[in-house]
Amino acid sequence: MKGWLAIAGLGPGADVLVTPQVTEAIEQATDVVGYIPYVRRISPRPGLTLHESDNRVELERARHALQMAEAGRQVLVVSSGDPGVFAMASAVFEAVEAGPAIWRALDIRVLPGITAMLAAAAQAGAPLGHDFCTINLSDNLKPWSVIEKRLRLAAEADFAMAFYNPRSRARPEGFGRALDVLRETCEPERLVIFARAVSTPDQHMCVATLAEATPEMADMRTVVLVGSSLTRRIEREGDPIVYTPRSVHV
Ligand code: SAH
């Protein structure tokens, strides 16, 4: 059988948010490769081998997947959300670029998924309804000085922002520093949405102002959305609706 490699996004958590294209690829695969919690989202079945790997071994995992596809296996590399957003698609292509020429001839496809910020934005209303940017706050793969520069300039340009990997036990202080950088430019009333475990049974949404926001409101299962200066809140019973209007008038 001819081998292939598909790099698929499993969405933010709920089964209904997995695309039919990804479901079909899961059904056709002989091997699923990925970080342990993501591989555990795939139901075992005869003929399917699940390869769980630890975090932070992305390139090794990518090479393993490519080697299996080269050997004729039908390999699915899984990420949460979308595989092109701080996830495995880039790792696979880094491995292809540095690897043997034969890997470039493989059938490789990227199957998109619903990324965390879009699932979170939909829960909140439409906070990303105008220009926005996305920043990974983890300094595992880039220096903090780059993160801080991007934050400062994005705030100055009045983008709405989505922060992935805001805070972990290994990096407890970074998110507090990020809030301090925002406070240099943004007004205290700026809206900040903490969306935790969106679309899972553990989902928790919290809308705060920048003045109210504290580092403890985020963890590694949280995506943080910061509004632009125009983002507003519609109060109603239960959670408010947060949205950014479609137009900017100067
Ligand atoms: N490829 C993934 C992102 C991987 S980075 C995607 O497109 O969504 C991991 C980060 O994603 C987490 O630290 C968190 O910030 C965010 N994240 C992933 N799933 C989430 C969910 N269900 N709810 C909130 N944030 C989530």
CATH number at residue 128: 3.30.950.10
Distance 235 CA to ligand 1 centre (A): 27
Mean pLDDT in order along the chain per 10 residues (250 residues): 94 98 98 96 96 88 97 98 97 97 98 98 98 94 93 98 90 90 98 98 98 96 98 95 91
Predicted pLDDT of residue 171: 75
pLDDT digits (tens, 9 = 90+) for 114-155: 999 999 999 999 999 999 999 999 988 889 999 999 999 999
Contact 197 CB / ligand 1 (< 6 Å) = yes
Predicted pLDDT of residue 170: 77
Say if 249 falls within a structural domain: no
The residue whose CB lies within 8 Å of the most ligand 1 atoms, and thus the one to mutate among 221, 224, 225, is 221
Contact 108 CB / ligand 1 (< 6 Å) = no
Last residue of a domain, one of 88, 114, 140: 114
Same domain? For 39 and 122 the reply is no
Long-range pairs, 56-59, Cβ under 8 A, ≥24: 56/140, 58/88, 58/91, 59/91, 59/94, 59/95
Please state whether beta strands 107-111 and 4-9 pair in parallel, antiparallel, or not at all (unpaired): parallel
151-186 burial: b if 16+ Cβ within 10 Å, else e: beebbeeebbbbbbbbbeeebeebbeebbebbeebb
Same domain? For 187 and 224 the reply is yes
Predicted structure pTM score: 0.96
**What's the chain's length in residues?**
250
Same domain? For 148 and 176 the reply is yes
Total domains in the chain come to: 2
Contact 77 CB / ligand 1 (< 6 Å) = no
Predicted pLDDT of residue 139: 85
The residue whose CB lies within 8 Å of the most ligand 1 atoms, and thus the one to mutate among 35, 86, 123, 163, is 86
Say if 248 falls within a structural domain: no
Contact 164 CB / ligand 1 (< 6 Å) = yes
Predicted pLDDT of residue 56: 76
Q: Which domain holds residue 79?
A: 4-114
Same domain? For 182 and 86 the reply is no
**3-state DSSP percent of the chain in helix, strand and coil, to 5:** 35, 25, 40
Say if 21 falls within a structural domain: yes
Same domain? For 70 and 92 the reply is yes
Q: Which atom of ligand 1 is nearest to the CA of 168?
A: 13
CATH of the domain at 70: 3.40.1010.10
Distance 208 CA to ligand 1 centre (A): 20
Same domain? For 169 and 232 the reply is yes
Predicted pLDDT of residue 173: 87
Alpha-carbon torsion 240, 244, 245, 250, what sign?
positive
